[in-house]
Chain A
Amino acid sequence: MIHSLESIIRNHEFFHGLEEKYIVFIAGCARNVRFEENQYIFHEGDPAERFYFIREGLVSIELMIPHKGASTLHTVRDGEVLGWSWLAPPYRWHFDARTLRSTHALDFDGECLRRKCEEDHHLGYEVLKRFANVVSERLDAARLQLLDLYGGHA
């Protein structure tokens, strides 16, 4: 079944409750993309101009550690949002993102959306609320990971 970008975005939990005019606008900033397994989506330090909804697949958020190689900090999978560095200066990726399997995603032009958010603060607030939720969930998860819950002393 082929779904239009608008209907995919409208039905996605992330954009639930957003006004129709904003759905149409955001759909105009989006396109479908496909990444092969083991393909880098972005690299640490590169300009962060986009963000992604993972429709199907698995993406590893990694940090390259000298003499050790890439260390996976977190994985992002079906239904989740990848990337928020486009929202805050200096608009550079803080980590690498690499697919662990073939991945379908919606690719959003973050710069375009950011400009629109600057012009329309209601949209800006709606977008920021949603991303703040994602950031909060990831922060909780990172804190729990730091606790080493399953170690012998947890």
Chain B
Amino acid sequence: MARAARSGSRADTALVSTCALLALLATVLPLPIRDAIASSLRRTVVAPLLALQQRAERARTAFGGHDVLAARLDSLALRNAQLGDLADENVRLRGLLSLGRQLQWGFLPAEALHGRGMGDEHVLVLTRGSEAGVTPRSAVVAPAGLIGQVTTVDPRSSLAILWTHPDFRASAMASDGTAFGIVRPHLGEEPERSLLELRGVAFRDALTPGTLILTSGLGGVYPRGIPIGVVMGEVTTSEVWSRTYLVRPAVYPPDVNNVMILSPERVSSGAMDEVWSSVARADSAARGVAASADSLARLAAMAAAHRARQMDSLRAVLGLPDPADSLRADSVASTGGSAPTATQRRDSTRRVP
């Protein structure tokens, strides 16, 4: 019994001595030999463990980057949602710039603040006042046409009534100058409340739907040639010797955020028929240029995708490797066991005690 225990103890001592000696020998081996042994171990016994470690590293990286990615995705979604508004605003500002170029002088750009309370839904607050040269009864216009008229002027702001205001009136005419009348808001029920009426048109002057209505320049408040709207149809009234037409307005007030206030000098200087027709032409030209640029970009993207597909097909036929894949760390790692020291982080390959 004692002999067996002694022989077992000797065997244990021999084993631990051998292992310790081998380990010590390993520590003093030349680096290439140590590398070779370590490499052979990594390729065989340790390979599954190494793969496990790589997956864990990737999982940690993905987990750490999740919040950043989510934030980026949210930002992109928000930006994408705002793109429509930006495009609309771009169109409005482009129109305003174009109008300013055509008017050349005698106007003041202003921001239009919409009333939110009861009773001020037909009034605009403009961010320019008497200090900037705004006077009462000045015409307020937008690139699409007439909006209203300044009624009250403060030093730094002013109030303007919209064409929806019950007191709004404007002398108007058909675009060909054949018929004249007075434009006022249509005071009907809610869907029709956003329309205008052209009243007092002589019975002999029949207008067809689609006829453009402009300011006539009579009365001295609005210069001739500002678009008001388009005739929708005739309305039956009690007046026998004149006709009344429903007019679809050129400008819907809720869509307006920036306006031009025309000075009295500019109004008295003459007609503005050419101004709005030029604005319309410039606007359509700008839209055309933008659309062409979009088409070109789309075509370039399609051509690039087509080229990439052709290259992929060619590579598949010739059996060539994908250059993007050949540079990936996975491929590098999978091509040989000795690669990890070059492709992995130092602290991930070294066993930290």
A and B pair up: no
Q: Which residues of B contact A (CB under 8 A)?
A: none
